[in-house]
Chains A and B, each alone.
Chain A
Amino acid sequence: MTEISLAQQNFLLAQKRHKRSVRTSRLCIFLLFFGLWEVASQSGLIDSFIFSSPSKLFLCAYGMILDHTLFTNIGITLFETIVSFLLVIFFALFITIILWFNKHISETLEPYLVVLNSLPKSALAPLLIVWLGANYNTIIITGMSVAIFGSILSLYNSFQSVDTEKVKLIYTLGGNKFHALTKVVLPSSLPSLFSIMKVNIGLCLVGVIIGEFIAARAGLGYLIIYGSQVFKLDWVILSIAILCIIAIALYQAIAIAEKYCLKHH
């Protein structure tokens, strides 16, 4: 294994070159997009009042950092998203475990869960705000409402798809249903739990933004709505760009946690 054949070396080299060229192309698109955008707005090809420009966004962000509005708003949206995400995971696990323990409950509730899940959740937001008032709790619940039912259904599916022979093994070793849950069902559902989490973090962000559109006095969703109403489109576009970054960062955080957990479990 010490000697690598010439053919293998060539293959590895070609692979490396291919990877590098993909990376370069990606970077090019990025630079080209922002470059064209800047040039187009500078030269008056597009109206920078409506379409903004990278340099205007930069200045806008700088100004908002100085008057502390940027990080407060980011922080609020991030906080609401993470809390609703954690609550979704907690309740989804809790409810799924109950469903798994009791066939009667799960079969009874199944059609209701399916209906609730296929509901367009953004339609619920105005109602929730009337019911619960315009505050953080409502926005967090709006975020949860987008993700919770789908999570329960997917998680329950993954609990159900556990190899019945593995569960039988637990019983042959003298275990009970609780052991089957902790020793087999939960560990073997961990990979699906992580995929559900990856989907959920995005959904919770969407839900929180919808909530902020309607009810908030702060947060990126509020900035977007308020900015569009007073024609501060720099705010709107900057908030959207930041939302992109937040979405990617949260997703990556879960991907890293996944890598770590699945390696050590």
Chain B
Amino acid sequence: MEKLMEISHVSYSYHTLEGETPALTNINFTVHKGDFLSIVGPSGCGKSTLLSLLTGLIEPEHGSILLYGQKLFEKGRGTIGYMLQHDHLFEWRTIEKNVLLGLEIQNRLTPENQEKVMDMLKRYGLYKFKDARPSQLSGGMRQRAALIRTLALEPELLLLDEPFSALDYQTRLTVGDDIGSIIKKEQKTAILVTHDLSEAVSLGNQILVLSKRPATIKSIVPINFSDTMTPLQRRNAPEFKDYFNTIWKELNSDD
């Protein structure tokens, strides 16, 4: 598999008047095309910081992040899709205008691109809501719209920062399934950050376990399920529990 992104020796600290907060120390991993990487770690350990680094919103203090062998910073914004914790759909725009926001910002509102986005809205059952306002949609549909807004830019890599944490448990399962299969269908490479271990196992093909802040990588656990399984089917598979336990132990081990 082709190497998409290479993260080597990355460290990052926040500086405020109250002092320095080291968030990440010496992070190393590689993302290959087609990977679905789940990142788990205790809350406040630096997961969102890591994603901000990977999108190029902030620059590493030490180490390097290479996208196809080239330095990422600045170039990454727009070529790497980032789905934030909340959908942040704008109430003053229709769903259609919301999903076109990225193209609008990048001056890429060509008829072909708009066509593609409309196709995605159709494929994922949002087309008939294209003139609706975000508040008229259910939580799951909003999340789908937010994903389409990100995919409209045809990103090389998709970053998801606890995208389901604002949803209730029931919706979470179905939306997780939904988003997971959309990403698979669109053949995207993705990195999912979550503090929910079962979510990580049900969606990922590799799990990166982070330590407490300042985060280091404790271990990388490969997950092997049959390729055709949906996230919900994975949850019912017998290996699921074993993976869950392995990762739980990794998270709570003390070294």
A165-B106 contact given A171-B57, A172-B77, A174-B153, CB 8 Å threshold: no
A172-B92 contact given A179-B105, A183-B101, A183-B105, CB 8 Å threshold: no
Check A168 against B90 for contact (C-beta < 8 Å).
no
CB-CB under 8 A from A166, the residues of chain B are 88, 90
Q: Which residue of A lies closest to B159 (CB)?
A: A172
Q: Which residue of B lies closest to A190 (CB)?
A: B92
CB-CB under 8 A from A172, the residues of chain B are 55, 57, 77, 81-82, 84
A174-B90 contact given A168-B84, A183-B101, CB 8 Å threshold: no
CB-CB under 8 A from B77, the residues of chain A are 171-174
When each residue 50-66 of chain B gets 1 if its CB lies under 8 Å from chain A and 0 otherwise, what string results?
Answer: 00000101000000000
Check A165 against B88 for contact (C-beta < 8 Å).
yes
Q: Which residue of A lies closest to B102 (CB)?
A: A173
Q: Is the interface of B mostly helix, strand, loop or mixed?
A: loop
Answer yes or no: B218 CB below 8 A from chain A CBs.
no
A173-B153 contact given A168-B57, A168-B84, A179-B105, CB 8 Å threshold: yes
Assembly CA distance A188 to B89 (angstroms): 12
Give A218 Cβ to nearest chain B Cβ, in Å: 43
CB-CB under 8 A from B9, the residues of chain A are none
Check A174 against B78 for contact (C-beta < 8 Å).
yes
Answer yes or no: B212 CB below 8 A from chain A CBs.
no
Answer yes or no: A170 CB below 8 A from chain B CBs.
yes
CB-CB under 8 A from B153, the residues of chain A are 173-174
Check B106 against A174 for contact (C-beta < 8 Å).
yes
When each residue 72-87 of chain B gets 1 if its CB lies under 8 Å from chain A and 0 otherwise, what string results?
Answer: 0000011101101110
CB-CB under 8 A from B106, the residues of chain A are 173-175
Assembly CA distance A173 to B85 (angstroms): 15
Give A27 Cβ to nearest chain B Cβ, in Å: 38
CB-CB under 8 A from B101, the residues of chain A are 173, 183
Interface centre among B78, B105, B106, B149 (most CB of A within 10 A): B105
Give A42 Cβ to nearest chain B Cβ, in Å: 57
Check B88 against A169 for contact (C-beta < 8 Å).
yes
Assembly CA distance A163 to B55 (angstroms): 20
Answer yes or no: A193 CB below 8 A from chain B CBs.
no
Which residues of A (139-174) have their CB < 8 Å from a CB of B? 163, 165-166, 168-174
Give B67 Cβ to nearest chain A Cβ, in Å: 14
CB-CB under 8 A from B92, the residues of chain A are 187-188, 190, 265
Assembly CA distance A174 to B149 (angstroms): 12
Assembly CA distance A184 to B77 (angstroms): 18
A175-B90 contact given A168-B57, A169-B84, CB 8 Å threshold: no
Give B207 Cβ to nearest chain A Cβ, in Å: 24
| Other-chain contact of B90, A165, A171, A179, A187 (Cβ < 8 Å) | A187
Assembly CA distance A175 to B104 (angstroms): 10
Check B90 against A173 for contact (C-beta < 8 Å).
no
Give A190 Cβ to nearest chain B Cβ, in Å: 7
Q: Which residue of A lies closest to B52 (CB)?
A: A168
Assembly CA distance A187 to B85 (angstroms): 22
Give A184 Cβ to nearest chain B Cβ, in Å: 7
Which residues of B (96-111) have their CB < 8 Å from a CB of A? 101-102, 104-106
CB-CB under 8 A from B57, the residues of chain A are 168, 171-172
29 interchain pairs (CB within 8 A)? A163-B88, A165-B85, A165-B86, A165-B88, A166-B90, A168-B84, A169-B84, A171-B57, A172-B57, A172-B82, A172-B84, A173-B78, A173-B102, A173-B105, A173-B149, A174-B77, A174-B78, A174-B106, A174-B153, A175-B106, A179-B105, A183-B104, A183-B105, A184-B90, A187-B90, A187-B92, A188-B90, A188-B92, A190-B92
- Chain A residues near B (Cβ < 8 Å): 163, 165-166, 168-175, 179, 183-184, 187-188, 190, 265
Q: Known A-B contacts: A166-B90, A173-B102, A188-B92. Give 12 more (CB < 8 A).
A: A165-B86, A168-B84, A170-B105, A172-B57, A172-B77, A172-B84, A173-B101, A179-B105, A183-B105, A188-B90, A190-B92, A265-B92
Closest 5 CB pairs of A and B: A174-B78, A172-B82, A173-B102, A175-B105, A187-B92
